[in-house]
Chains A and B, each alone.
Chain A
Amino acid sequence: MASTFELPGSYKKWTLGLIIAGALAIVWGLIMYHPFSPVTHGAGHDAHASVNATRFWAVLLQNSVFWLLVVNASMFFLCITTMAMGGWQVALRRVPEAISSVVPILGVIAFVVLLAIIMGHRTDIYHWLDKDAVAADKILNGKKSFLNPAFFLIVSGVSIFLWWFLGRKMRSMSLESDKTGPMDYETAKAWIWKNTVWASLFSVTFGLTVASTIPWLWLMSIDAHWYSTMYSWYTFASTFVSGMSLIAIFVIWLKNRGQLEYVTEEHLHDIGKFMFAFSIFWTYLWFSQYMLIWYSNQPEETKYFVERIGTAEKSGPYYGIFFLNLVLNFLCPLLILMKRGVKRNWTMVTLMGILIIFGHWIDLYQMIMPGTLHEHAQMNLFEFGVPCIFIGIIMWGVGRYLTANSLVPKNHPFLKESMIHHT
């Protein structure tokens, strides 16, 4: 069923503006940073050119991975609430559906970026691409069975395909229910069961990819010698809390446009709880990773933090960003979102949503840059320009889905539960 909702002109302008700004940044990078020049190891003029090429790929990797995982988190949110027989989110579930409909687009972009890094033999991003170095290196040799181009690309491709395929199934079941009309008890029961089965398939896939293997391959293999068993959970928590924030922002935006009539402060409160709880969860994982490495104090493990904060004698280049990360993603959500009134305040949740997304974007920045650009990382127009195109694409995809479909899943068996929901 077609929606009566039409995108306001300002939304379209912003979407177009952001896409153009981001595209300009990428074109600028393509022209000025010579991203396809071969990697050089050495000093002088070549080294400078090489740094710029590395910067191009590192920034692209950061943004494509971050935004893909953030939009994919929406589908995970839908699936876990489906499996938990949750009713409260039904009134707003078209929003996460719309966000997750961007997964195939960002998935293809991320895959192209990874393909370019692998095929372009960017050993400055993934050290393990260097066959000679791997052969001479006992540790990298041991990881050869999964840190190799073929395995990397196949697992990446299959994961992105599964996120798209299973997510599409979830969305199509929801959209079909609009057409079939109100369900009787038996039909509704069968329909919920079907949803539960597909949701669990997605969740298992999600657990085996986002919450374990994918961060190992895409991000942790930048520091190929180093490993942390917390890393994937950490990435998952980071992107899930950003995903919840993105849902909150779109819900509030639609509410401001006079849509989503059944969504009230109660629903906002629950989204706010997710943002609060998963910020704390993220900190728990951050701390677990940090403290164990700090405590055992083994050079091959502490290297990761030395590259970021430095040592007692000399602080590292990422000292500021490392602690800013904690302030933005732990202290602010903890102290600001703690109060009930804040979680029920539309303005405050919007502000916190933007803050959390920015904070975790910074988080991914400090996960990727130290291992690739070392002390040459910058935070400049290019770094802020590239995310524009990703935000623009998300806005475009979400807008398209929201205008093409009804904003309320009116035949969902749990809709009434959502309408009368109060915490």
Chain B
Amino acid sequence: MAGGQKKFVVGCFDDEAVLFPAVKKVRKAGYKIHDVYTPFPVHGLDHAMGLRETSIHTAGFIYAITGTTTAVAFISWIFTKDWPLNIGGKPHFALPAWIPITFELTVLFAAVGMVLTFCYLCNLAPFVKKHVFHPRATDDLFVMAIECTDKTNEAEVQSFLSNAGAIEINIQVAETGWWIGRYDREQKLYKEEVGY
């Protein structure tokens, strides 16, 4: 539940083509972008925001190797030490027959491991809630949240965003971490929002 309350200037964009230059301008002006929330994965936005390359594939490789090792070690222990069986006169250490299982475990470890790592990094779990800056971020708006410090002049940021093409701008004080909660109870549902 780390994080604490922080103040954000939130700008909403309705066009990718406006969003990209806006992100560039905001970064150039020295403001800190907390995050940009988009209704769908936007190609190249991570580069524009200057996010570092994800390490999840390295993690995936490590999980995969773990899976391979687990499979080979476990099967060879069973078939050569714990419970040797004569299957069709094959040697006890019958590597070709184990390849499919080894392959499956490699894939399983990599896949499950990467999904869990992803969920952990993004704080995704049942009953884990995070602040939603704008409900339409899941529908048709690109929502940019700019983090404010003591020195930030909010009015200046707001006018800056509006010049950059934001169609809706507001200031929110929000929890940056996660807490135990439920979106369906705590969040106003999209259809209940006045004006949409």
Contact = CB atoms under 8 A, between A and B. Distances in A.
A11 interface: no
Contacts of A340: 57
A290 B96 CA distance: 8
A287 B97 contact: no
B88 interface: yes
A287 B89 CA distance: 21
Nearest to B44: A422
B99 A287 contact: yes
A297 interface: yes
B96 A294 contact: yes
A75 B97 CA distance: 37
A287 B100 CA distance: 10
User: B-side binding surface: helix, strand, loop or mixed?
Assistant: helix
B97 A291 contact: yes
B96 A291 contact: yes
Give chain B's interface residue range (CB within 8 Å of chain A): 10 to 19
Nearest to A339: B57
Contacts of B99: 287, 291
Contact of A295 (B43, B61, B97): B97
A287 B43 CA distance: 37
Contacts of B61: 338
Interface string B54-71: 000100010000000000
Contacts of B96: 287, 290-291, 294-295
Interface string A199-221: 00000000000000000000000
B37 to A, nearest CB: 23
Nearest to B88: A297
Nearest to A292: B96
A340 B55 CA distance: 12
Nearest to B87: A295
A383 to B, nearest CB: 30
Main DSSP-derived SS at the A contact region: helix
Interface in A283-304: 287, 290-291, 294-295, 297
Interface in B20-48: 43-44
Nearest to A295: B97
A295 B89 CA distance: 10
B56 to A, nearest CB: 12
A259 B90 CA distance: 57
Interface string B84-97: 00001110000011
Which size class do A's interface residues fall under? under 10
A278 B99 CA distance: 19
Interface in B61-118: 61, 88-90, 96-97, 99-100
A41 to B, nearest CB: 35
Nearest to B61: A338
Contacts of A294: 96
Interface string A329-369: 00000000010100000000000000000000000000000
A295 B97 CA distance: 8
A287 B97 CA distance: 10
Nearest to A293: B96
A338 B57 CA distance: 10
Nearest to A312: B91
Contacts of B97: 291, 295
A340 B44 CA distance: 16
B86 to A, nearest CB: 13
A338 B96 CA distance: 23
Nearest to B89: A297
Nearest to B58: A339
B62 to A, nearest CB: 13
Contacts of A287: 96, 99
A265 B97 CA distance: 40
A297 B88 CA distance: 9
Nearest to B43: A422
A340 B54 CA distance: 12
Interface string A244-267: 000000000000000000000000
B134 to A, nearest CB: 29
A290 B95 CA distance: 12
B119 to A, nearest CB: 23
A222 to B, nearest CB: 24
Contacts of A291: 96-97, 99-100
B39 to A, nearest CB: 21
Interface of B: 43-44, 57, 61, 88-90, 96-97, 99-100
Interface of A: 287, 290-291, 294-295, 297, 338, 340, 422
11 contacts: A287-B99, A290-B96, A291-B96, A291-B99, A295-B88, A295-B96, A295-B97, A297-B89, A338-B61, A422-B43, A422-B44
Closest 4 CB pairs of A and B: A291-B96, A294-B96, A287-B99, A290-B96
Given A290-B96, A291-B100, A422-B44, 7 more contacts: A287-B96, A287-B99, A291-B96, A291-B97, A295-B88, A295-B97, A338-B61
